[in-house]
Structure 1
Amino acid sequence: MQSQVQTTEETYDEFPKITQEGLDDLRKRIGVKITDTAEPWNYEATRDGIRHYAHGIGDANPLWCDPAYAAKTKYGDVIALPSFLFSTSRIVSGYVGGLPGVHAMWSGADWTWHKPIRRNDVITTQAWLKDLVEHQTRFAGRSIQQIYHVDFYNQDGDLLAEADSWCFRTERDHARDKGSKYTHVRERALRRYSDEELQEAFKLYANEKVQGATVRYWDDVTEGEELPTMLKGPMTVTGFIAYAQGWGGLYIRANRLAWQQSSAHPGLGIKNRFGVPDCPERVHWDEEFAHRVGAPGAYDYGPERCSWLTHHMTNWMGDDGFLRRATSKIRRHNPEGDMVFIKGKVKRKYIEDGRHLVEIEQEAHNQDGELSVLGTGVVELLKR
């Protein structure tokens, strides 16, 4: 039951709290394989599924999207971009259990890929809760980092990839009323870009390069060299929805299916302005609801941002490179209107188990220089 809490400006519902009982119950699940996970958006890496995901992050690489082009590569057909696997598991994408009604924010992942994801591969997963870690945050005070592990297999039983991903479970009321992280964002005037500002930023789109069929050799890479800066944004609700179309969302349901979901999970549905239970995922397109949970406004998806970082590296490495590892650690929301500039540099190059590898460091900042996300990657390249 939600009670009413009066603030100086508006009256909001009071949301459920993190309780010791809820945490104790959740800890019992650590290490236990999950067998009742929600249906994934994609069971198979179809041509359309791959393309929809790629377009959802603004990636038109022909290796993912153009069968005629891909037929001339070593793969002989389109393959899936590495981050496509987000669409094959609700768990890795932030579908958390326990602590009903407590907000979940997807906040990072640590990926390892072992084999390419080929067209029409059938993906199965195994997942379990790995750990719970308590934190004190500026955004919401006491927060619980809920870490899951997921393994991804193809139809032959080959391990394609594995990932740890985590959400922070936060108390919505505390984030809204006492959180200090976004006070300056909520207080600043609405940003309007001039045509000149947009044209300057859009030069990065005009000059964005996909390495493609031109081989980037390990021999030619130097430590300290910079990757081209990649632009994402300006953030729009349209862009967030474009990502959800390819990724599938966690809780987006319509009509009877929405009713079934809220009936099965009463703590999930949060009443909208019409008094109708609606999914918590609407923080990504409903500005009023985003403010209710303490966010600065409707904002991007966490897996979306992780996918931008991998896009940055796959553009650079080319068709013959292979992304072995990638990590992402989200540091703030990217609300509507923000631009994000992704930068990277080569930290080191090395040989391991006969593979010629390049380690990359990434940082992304918004137009005001605020840190959005940190990332790392390991790319395998051909040697001359």
Structure 2
Amino acid sequence: MKPMEYGKITDEAIAAFKKRVGMQLRVSHQFNEEATRETIRKFADGIGDSNPLWHNSNDAADSPYKRLVAPPSWLASVFPTWILQGLPGVHAIHAGTEWEFYRPVMAGDTIRPESYFTGYEIKKCQFGGKTIVEHQEARYYNQKDQLVGIARPAGFRMEREAMVELNQQGDITLPHPWTESELEKIEEDVLNEKERGSLPLFWEDVNEGDQLPVITKGPLGITDMIAYCIGASPIAIKAHGSSLKEYKRHPDWCFRDSLTYSLEPIYSVHYNQSAASACGLPYPYDLGTQRHCWLMQLLTNWMGDYGWIKTCNAKYTGFVYFSDAIRLSGEVTNKFIGDDGELLVEVKTACINQRGKNVMPGLSVIELPSCRDKNQVINKKLID
């Protein structure tokens, strides 16, 4: 049996980290490369985003893009913003990301990612004993070598043994004991989600204090995770001999499941109870990048086809476990003109679970059109 490995953050490992700072990292796994109708659709389905702009060529043809376009979060399906480097047996948890977007990804575009290790800090964390906070930067370029977007993720590396000893479940009951009436209300809220679509949201009509329409996700289950992996597999998920060859080359990537005796990726903490338990977690949980994609859905629903996400920053301050339900919300906190004359609004966002905890506070900046020229925002981004 190959159990879940419990590694240590040693002085030697920290010295190796220090030497890597500033290096370009090798992107060993790129999932999507070309933005086709299928890769766009599967990704949008994987985050539960039914906006016609990503699904319907006819709707997209009538939009300012004039053809099918990918949601801004689709870049996460090309490369999930960060690379797990070094420290075998030391758990990795995505802690937050700062996104910047410069150009849309249109159907037919091909995207090339680059990854850089930009720094680290050593901290004492109650959850995982000695902890490394590492910082990376992902850059995404299209086939014309134009910079499309940048992601700056932060992640924790924690000793699994300390995580198991602490066991964070506490007084949380998992799975959450929903009543039938509570589930009916959640499903009603999910189905009430609205996309603004082709109706422009003008900068002049937005005011500080405006509330974004809430979107609801959950209760989170295994099919939600499967759908996300189909659209945006963050690791090279393979089967049978294909996976075994990978594990023979990289034995630290897997462990032997005590229930099925199969070799499973460490990544399966996101859908496998055995993996989650071995890491000291009470239940499988979502991915930070996945949750951030839900946040961008909140923004694109509100701003419509003529808006543009300029920046989208968020911290992942808690887990969204299987059976959890969350509500994503936003409030306009500022309205201003940018240095280049852009008409901008600042939106403070939140992601509240059924326990009342904000598990993803964030702040985004959205560019909106003027009622004098509704095409200006998108057209600027489409100029070669």
Gaps of 5+ in 1: 3-11
- Counterpart-to-counterpart distance in 2, 1:145 and 1:251: 24
- Counterpart for residue 95 of structure 1: 83
- Counterpart-to-counterpart distance in 1, 2:266 and 2:299: 32
- Counterpart for residue 12 of structure 2: 21
| Deviation of 1:147 (Å) | 1.3
Amino acid at match of 2:137: H
- Counterpart-to-counterpart distance in 2, 1:295 and 1:141: 15
**Counterpart contact for 1:139–1:182, Cα < 8 Å:** no
TM-score (norm 1): 0.92
**Counterpart contact for 1:46–1:120, Cα < 8 Å:** yes
- Counterpart-to-counterpart distance in 2, 1:99 and 1:332: 23
Q: Residue 250 of structure 1: which of 231, 235, 239 is its match?
A: 235
**Counterpart contact for 1:357–1:381, Cα < 8 Å:** yes
2:33 aligned with 1:43: yes
Q: Which has the higher contact order (CA 8 A, sep 6+)?
A: 2
- Counterpart for residue 277 of structure 1: 263
Within a 5 Å distance, the mapping from 1:63-212 to structure 2 comes to 63-90=53-80, 92=81, 94-179=82-167, 181-185=168-172, 188=173, 190-212=175-197
- Counterpart for residue 351 of structure 1: 337
- Counterpart for residue 366 of structure 2: 379
Question: Percent identity between the aligned chains?
Answer: 32
| Deviation of 1:111 (Å) | 0.5
| Deviation of 1:28 (Å) | 1.1
After superposition, the CA RMSD in angstroms is 1.7
Which region of structure 1 is more displaced relative to structure 2, 309-318 or 295-304? 295-304
Alignment CA distance shift 1:255-1:213 (3 Å): same
Alignment CA distance shift 1:280-1:226 (3 Å): same
**Counterpart contact for 1:14–1:173, Cα < 8 Å:** no
| Deviation of 1:190 (Å) | 4.2
**Counterpart contact for 2:29–2:236, Cα < 8 Å:** no
- Counterpart-to-counterpart distance in 1, 2:120 and 2:248: 28
CA-to-partner distance for each residue in 1:218-253, whole Å, 9 max, x for gaps?
A: 000000111111101111111111111100131422
- Counterpart for residue 211 of structure 2: 226
- Counterpart-to-counterpart distance in 2, 1:14 and 1:255: 22
CA-to-partner distance for each residue in 1:8-43, whole Å, 9 max, x for gaps?
A: xxxx75611111111211221111112x32131111
2:24 aligned with 1:33: yes
Amino acid at match of 1:33: Q
| Deviation of 1:113 (Å) | 0.3
**Counterpart contact for 1:252–1:281, Cα < 8 Å:** no
- Counterpart-to-counterpart distance in 2, 1:13 and 1:303: 24
- Counterpart for residue 352 of structure 2: 365
| Deviation of 1:81 (Å) | 0.4
| Deviation of 1:183 (Å) | 1.8
Gaps of 5+ in 2: 372-384
Q: How many residues are aligned here?
A: 369
| Deviation of 1:191 (Å) | 2.8
- Counterpart-to-counterpart distance in 1, 2:271 and 2:357: 22
Alignment CA distance shift 1:13-1:261 (3 Å): closer
- Counterpart-to-counterpart distance in 2, 1:307 and 1:234: 17
| Deviation of 1:270 (Å) | 1.5
- Counterpart for residue 321 of structure 2: 335
**Counterpart contact for 2:95–2:154, Cα < 8 Å:** yes
TM-score (norm 2): 0.92
- Counterpart for residue 304 of structure 2: 318
Structure 2 counterpart SS, 1:373:
coil
Structure 2 counterpart SS, 1:150:
strand
Which region of structure 1 is more displaced relative to structure 2, 250-259 or 356-365? 250-259
Amino acid at match of 1:260: K
